[in-house]
């Protein structure tokens, strides 16, 4: 087994920065009690202002006021770590959150799918860069070694046990993940590197140091196994972005929505499922949240497609008040079946499948705008058709008589005086059972202009001729 | 007098252009009316292009003209889309004309959105034919539809009022429907001079 460790050196900062459009603005994460606020993490632009982490907020503001602040939120860090684990679950079934701000995943069994390690690693880096997280990746024969090597290396891949010994031997004692007092004791004893520690007799180490030390060294070298708890992805997706100002235009919402949908797509790819309906909640200060449900006909999981469909609906949404936060909830995650396409398509230029086209039309024109039409076995013209979604179901129809190709949505008074009767009357009397009783005499007439009209005279109500349709 | 050259050889070499261009090939999209196919230079509907049908009012025989084509397309499992039709297509009549309704889709849209939807459908290349009723479309809108039909290699049909006959149009084929007697004439066809014969459409009673 080979384990990869992905370490996120500034998870909290990246989590805040990826929600902002300009990442070059100086930003400081603040923690501590309200009485003593301390700068916890900084981006390079803030560091260039002379700020240092550990500085109190008042001291930092004395240096400069041209930086933005955000809360250093431990809960957010956990959420981001869980999100990244869901992403990594797409690459390996054994992902562990054992170490804070890092992921450990078993990759040897995935190499068959994702190619040799250099290509696999490049893909991981590309996707993490697209998601907006800085990272260090190392590969080692056991998870503990991978995590410890990530303390000092990036891009290191170790395949054999002897190479692992060699590399670990050169690691300084402070970077071995040992308890602080043990590490200090070693350095005071004059032991600087791991190789020197390994040179000591085991029984003296056991006598002088707590038992965890030997256990840690053994797992590090792979002499002893470690039981890691594997990550299980949740069954639903729920993410929220708090905006740092009140947003009043739909255009300004597009950036956070795009981020949320990219996260949703990464989550779906990790679980190998798709989404058919999800809702976007826009939170306001005093009003209840605006809900925008997005329902698709098919199951999708590509970020671009989902974003385009959401955008079409978002642009038509009327928001009653400024938006403070955006939340995306997807509870129903059905299995994703990729669309089957012919290898030799008859129409090579076909750049948009019918399903995609239908979604695009629906997102702009409304869910009901695109429909199929179906004939129903009924003699009354108004009840003889039905629009909606059908999947190829048909009814047995009454014997074919001459019927018009165009049916008016509602009958209109037939005003043309000069006409010639071609056929009729045909009596249609039906519907006593559903309170829509009809008794009509239908005629085919030719108008003065030469068009053929289907008109009727209601027998019970009486009155003028009514136009119902045109022949063709 | 120079040497005598037979006219036939000149015609066969296509070195003499005849005003009434002879039909070269049988078109891929027959109109279903043999007489109409015979006078069109493309031998049928122009492929991947917009065809315009000018009519006095709905019900002037435009469905009669198109049903054979639509029936053929739906039998080949090609999708046909009606963008904002003026009335409800009555399924019984369409079925008896041979149109497979499983492959027919209606789109309800306002007149502005209808042009957008028609363009999207034409451009996507996933439809066999797109029928639209642009009410007061200008030259630019029609040109967009024509370009979209070319891009998506789709048959596009635009039904417009008869009064537009005097205005130029970018459509590859313009047909004019008359009702008394019921016949169809060609106003413009790309690739040849419009023939001045009218083809009878529906048998009169």
Closest CA to A442 of A420, A462, A463, A465: A465
CB A381 within 8 Å of CB A469: yes
Q: Which own/partner contact pairs does A343-351 have at CB distance under 8 Å and 24+ positions apart?
A: A347/B125, A347/B126, A347/B153, A349/B125, A349/B151, A349/B152, A349/B153, A350/B124, A350/B125, A350/B126, A350/B152, A351/B124, A351/B125
Residue A397: what pLDDT? 67
Q: Could you tell me which residues are beta bridge partners of residue A388?
A: A372
Q: Does B23 touch chain A (CB under 8 A)?
A: no
Closest CA to B25 of B196, B191, B151, B175: B191
What is the C-alpha separation between A201 and B3, in angstroms, rounded?
Answer: 117
What is the C-alpha separation between B61 and A191, in angstroms, rounded?
Answer: 98
Bridging pattern class, strands A102-106 and B182-189: unpaired
Q: How many CB atoms lie within 10 A of CB A179?
A: 13
Identity of the residue in A352, A356, A470 whose CB atom sits nearest the CB atom of B58:
A470
Q: CA of A64: how far to CAs of A52, A71, A150, in Å?
A: 12, 18, 34
Residue B152: what pLDDT? 84
Q: Which own/partner contact pairs does A171-178 have at CB distance under 8 Å and 24+ positions apart?
A: A173/A197, A175/A148, A175/A151, A176/A148, A176/A216, A176/A220, A177/A144, A177/A147, A177/A148, A177/A151, A177/A216, A178/A213, A178/A216
Residue A159: what pLDDT? 86
Residue B39: what pLDDT? 80
Q: Does B58 touch chain A (CB under 8 A)?
A: yes
Q: Does domain B47-198 have CATH number 3.40.50.300?
A: yes
Residue A123: what pLDDT? 93
What is the C-alpha separation between A200 and A193, in angstroms, rounded?
Answer: 12
Domain spans of chain B? 47-198
> Which segment of A23-32, A426-435, B18-27 scores lowest on mean pLDDT?
B18-27
**Residue matched to tokens 């006409």:** A419
Q: Which helix (H) or strand (E) holds A309?
A: helix A303-314
What is the C-alpha separation between A77 and A70, in angstroms, rounded?
Answer: 13
Peptide bond into A193 cis (omega under 30): no
Contact flag B89-A451 (C-beta cutoff 8 Å): no
Q: Which fold has domain A234-367?
A: Dna Ligase; domain 1 (3.30.1490)
Q: What is the ipTM of this complex?
A: 0.81
Q: Does B161 touch chain A (CB under 8 A)?
A: no
Residue B132: what pLDDT? 92
Residue A277 has pLDDT above 60, yes or no: yes
Task: Say which residue, A94 or A24, is predicted with more confidence.
Answer: A94
The distance from CA B18 to its chain's CA centroid, rounded to whole angstroms, is: 24
CB A161 within 8 Å of CB A141: yes
Q: Does B91 touch chain A (CB under 8 A)?
A: yes
Which residues from chain B sit within 8 angstroms of residue A450, using beta carbons? Answer: 60, 178-182
C-alpha torsion angle, residues A131, A137, A139, A142 (rounded to 10): -90
> Which segment of A104-113, A387-396, B60-69 scores lowest on mean pLDDT?
A387-396
Task: Give A354→chain B minimum CA distance, Å.
Answer: 5
Residue A266: what pLDDT? 87
Residue A139 tokens, joined: 């590969």
What is the C-alpha separation between A82 and A71, in angstroms, rounded?
Answer: 19
What is the DSSP-derived secondary structure letter of residue A122? H
Task: Say which residue, B55 or B34, is predicted with more confidence.
Answer: B55
Q: pLDDT confidence of A104, banded at 50, 70, 90?
A: very high
Helix axes A354-365, A303-314, angle to 10 degrees: 20
Q: How many CB atoms lie within 10 A of CB A398?
A: 12
What is the tens place of the pLDDT at every residue in A396-437?
Answer: 666 667 888 888 888 888 887 778 888 878 888 887 788 778
What is the tens place of the pLDDT at every residue in B110-124?
Answer: 888 888 899 889 888
Which residues from chain A sit within 8 angstroms of residue B95, using beta carbons? Answer: 375, 397, 400
Closest CA to A441 of A416, A465, A421, A409: A465
Task: Give A299→chain B minimum CA distance, Å.
Answer: 19
Domain spans of chain A? 3-25+67-221, 234-367, 381-394+401-470
Task: Give B63→chain A minimum CA distance, Å.
Answer: 5
Helix/strand/coil for A239: strand
Which residues from chain B sit within 8 angstroms of residue A373, using beta carbons? Answer: 88-89, 91, 101, 104, 106
What is the C-alpha separation between A93 and A236, in angstroms, rounded?
Answer: 18
């Amino acid at each position: 087994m080979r384990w990869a460790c992905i370490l996120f050196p500034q998870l909290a900062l990246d989590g805040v920065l990826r929600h902002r459009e300009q990442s070059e603005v100086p930003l400081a994460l603040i923690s501590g009690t309200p009485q003593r606020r301390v700068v916890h993490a900084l981006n390079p632009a803030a560091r260039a202002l002379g700020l240092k982490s550990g500085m109190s907020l008042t001291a930092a503001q004395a240096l400069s006021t041209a930086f933005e602040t955000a809360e250093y939120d431990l809960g957010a860090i956990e959420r981001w770590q869980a999100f990244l684990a869901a992403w990594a679950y797409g690459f390996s079934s054994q992902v562990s959150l054992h170490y804070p701000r890092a992921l450990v995943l078993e990759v040897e069994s995935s190499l068959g799918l994702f190619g040799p390690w250099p290509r696999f690693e490049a893909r991981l880096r590309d996707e993490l860069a697209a998601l907006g997280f800085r990272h260090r990746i190392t590969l080692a024969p056991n998870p503990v070694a991978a995590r410890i090597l990530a303390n000092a290396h990036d891009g290191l891949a170790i395949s054999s046990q002897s190479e692992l010994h060699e590399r670990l031997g050169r690691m300084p004692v402070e970077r071995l993940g040992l308890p602080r007092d043990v590490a200090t004791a070693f350095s005071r004893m004059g032991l600087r590197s791991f190789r020197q520690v390994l040179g000591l007799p085991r029984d003296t180490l056991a006598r002088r140091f707590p038992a965890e030390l030997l256990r840690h060294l053994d797992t590090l070298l792979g002499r002893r196994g470690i039981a890691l708890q594997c990550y299980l992805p949740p069954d639903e997706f729920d993410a929220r972005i708090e905006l740092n100002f009140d947003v009043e235009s739909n255009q300004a919402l597009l950036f956070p929505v795009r981020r949320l949908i990219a996260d949703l797509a990464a989550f779906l790819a990790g679980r190998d499922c798709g989404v058919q309906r999800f809702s976007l909640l826009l939170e306001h200060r005093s009003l209840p949240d605006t809900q925008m449900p997005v329902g698709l006909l098919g199951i999708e999981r590509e970020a671009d497609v989902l974003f385009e469909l959401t955008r079409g609906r978002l642009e038509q949404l009327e928001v009653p008040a400024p938006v403070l936060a955006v939340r995306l909830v997807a509870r129903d995650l059905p299995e994703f079946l990729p669309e089957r396409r012919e290898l030799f398509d008859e129409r090579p230029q076909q750049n948009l499948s019918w399903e995609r086209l239908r979604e695009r039309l629906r997102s702009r024109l409304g869910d009901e705008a695109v429909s199929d039409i179906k004939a129903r076995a009924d003699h009354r013209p108004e009840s003889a058709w039905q629009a909606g979604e059908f999947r190829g179901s048909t009814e047995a129809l009454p014997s074919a008589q001459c019927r018009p190709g165009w049916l008016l949505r509602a009958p209109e008074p037939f005003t043309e005086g000069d006409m010639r009767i071609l056929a009729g009357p045909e009596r249609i009397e039906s519907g006593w059972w559903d309170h829509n009783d009809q008794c009509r005499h239908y005629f085919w007439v030719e108008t003065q202009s030469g068009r053929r009209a289907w008109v009727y005279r209601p027998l019970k109500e009486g009155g003028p001729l009514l136009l119902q349709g045109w022949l063709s | 007098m120079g040497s005598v050259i037979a006219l036939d050889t000149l015609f066969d070499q296509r070195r003499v252009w005849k005003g009434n261009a002879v039909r070269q090939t049988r078109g891929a999209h027959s109109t279903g009316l043999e007489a109409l196919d015979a006078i069109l230079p493309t031998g049928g509907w122009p492929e991947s292009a917009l065809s315009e049908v000018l009519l006095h009012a709905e019900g002037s025989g435009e469905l009669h003209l198109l049903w054979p084509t639509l029936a053929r397309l739906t039998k080949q499992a090609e999708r046909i889309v009606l963008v904002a039709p003026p009335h409800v297509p009555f399924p019984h009549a369409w079925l008896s004309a041979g149109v497979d309704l499983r492959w027919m889709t209606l789109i309800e849209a306002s007149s502005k959105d209808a042009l957008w939807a028609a363009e999207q459908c034409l451009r996507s290349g996933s439809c066999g034919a797109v029928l639209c009723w642009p009410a007061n479309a200008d030259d630019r809108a029609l040109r967009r539809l024509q370009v979209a039909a070319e891009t998506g290699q789709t048959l596009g049909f635009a039904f417009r009022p008869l009064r537009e006959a005097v205005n130029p149009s970018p459509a590859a084929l313009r047909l004019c429907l008359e009702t008394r007697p019921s016949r169809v004439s060609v106003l413009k066809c790309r690739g040849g001079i419009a023939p001045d014969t009218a083809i009878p459409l529906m048998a009169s009673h």
